[in-house]
Amino acid sequence: MVFVGEGRISLSSVKAWSKLILFNCSLLLCPFDLFNLLKQEGASKEDIDQLAKFKFRRDGDIEKLTGDDQGCFGGIMTECGTDSPMEHVLSGEDAECCICLSAYEDGAELRQLPCGHHFHCTCVDKWLYINATCPLCKYNILKSTSQDREEV
């Protein structure tokens, strides 16, 4: 029970009120935005597993190459699970996850989305199960993976 003033309000009525408020606020949205909000769905495990996975290796020498001397070390992302792995050099500024806001540690597993943004696998996988878009630019990863399947 939640006590308000001298009366008592049950937790279930608080939840009901919050849903009512959320519904009324959603009416203020453009109908198109409301439709998009309701139809959003997450990605499947198969969709997420098709995205590129990388291993991060910290390298203090990257700052010498990029001119970044803010004390935050960059590194190199090396693609996992391929015969000829791609490598991407990250400056110290780019060597952090924009979801959890933590710097990439040496050996961290990263996932790169088709739009080019990268995050910790654990952070972005949780996000993608709920919402199949990039957390930064809203690029829909399902469009990319379905196009890849059609080309095969």
Q: Which of 15-29, 54-68, 108-122 has the lowest mean pLDDT?
A: 15-29
Tell me the one-letter amino acid at 25. Answer: C
Residue 63 has pLDDT above 70, yes or no: no
Residue 36 has pLDDT above 90, yes or no: no
% of the chain surpassing 90 pLDDT? 48
Cβ atoms < 10 Å from Cβ of 94:
19
All structural domains of the chain with their residue ranges: 2-39, 45-151
Instruction: Give every CB contact of residue 102 below 8 A, 6+ residues apart in sequence.
Output: 96, 120
> Please, which pLDDT band fits residue 121 given cuts at 50, 70 and 90?
very high
Residue 37 has pLDDT above 60, yes or no: no
Residue 146 has pLDDT above 70, yes or no: no
For domain 45-151, which architecture applies?
2-Layer Sandwich (3.30)
Helix (H), strand (E), coil (C) string for the chain: CEEECCEEECHHHHHHHHHHHHHHHHCCCCHHHHHHHHHCCCCCHHHHHCCEEEEEEECCCHHHHHCCCCCCCCEEEEECCCCCCCEEEECCCCCECCCCCCECCCCCEEEECCCCCEEEHHHHHHHHHHCCECCCCCCEHHHHHHHHHHHC
Beta 2-4 vs 7-9: how paired, if at all?
antiparallel
* Contact by Cβ (8 Å): 79, 86: yes
The predicted-structure confidence for 86-95, as pLDDT tens digits, reads as follows 999 999 889 9
pTM over 0.75: no
| pLDDT for position 151 | 47
Name the residue with higher pLDDT: 147 or 95: 95
